[in-house]
Homo-oligomer: A and B are copies of this chain.
Amino acid sequence: MKARSHHHEEQHLTERLGTTGLRLTPQRQQVYDVLVSKRDHPTAEEVFIRAKKAMPEISHATVYNCLDALVKSGLARQVQLERGATRFCPNMHEHGHFHCSDCGMIYDVDLPHELPCVAVPRGFRADGFDVTIHGLCAECAKQK
């Protein structure tokens, strides 16, 4: 069962990376595994630290390369929330992010199924969007 789902994942990665002319490498697999196994929107640096545990020779630049590869082929999203490091998210379903301005934690939130159409200027071509909500998470809201 485990092996089977693992095989499926591998196939999925190979397929998606293929659409951008990229290969599935052990490093890309590893970086993807890091993202999937703890969905706390880690920074590249955090991904590096976690990936290093399983693959001690992996380098900094490779982690950035891998993250870029995953983003380019639609396997992960970059999440830009505040000044400082960019974060990454392997959840490719349509969703928004809630950012607690106190503790900094990030939560995925569902977006309404029917989203209103945003009018973009004539000639512009939109192909995606990000929604971020700012506020306090339950923990931090309680403490105020």
Contact = CB atoms under 8 A, between A and B. Distances in A.
The complex is assembled from copies of this chain, and their number is 2
B133 A109 contact: no
A118 B127 contact: no
Interface string A56-98: 0000000000000000000000101111001000000000101
Given A83-B86, A115-B116, A134 B141 contact: no
Contact of A135 (B96, B98, B109, B120): B120
Interface residues of A, number: 40
A82 B83 contact: no
A136 interface: yes
B129 A129 contact: no
Interface string A131-144: 11111111001100
A94 to B, nearest CB: 12
Interface of A: 78, 80-83, 86, 96, 98, 107, 109-112, 114-138, 141-142
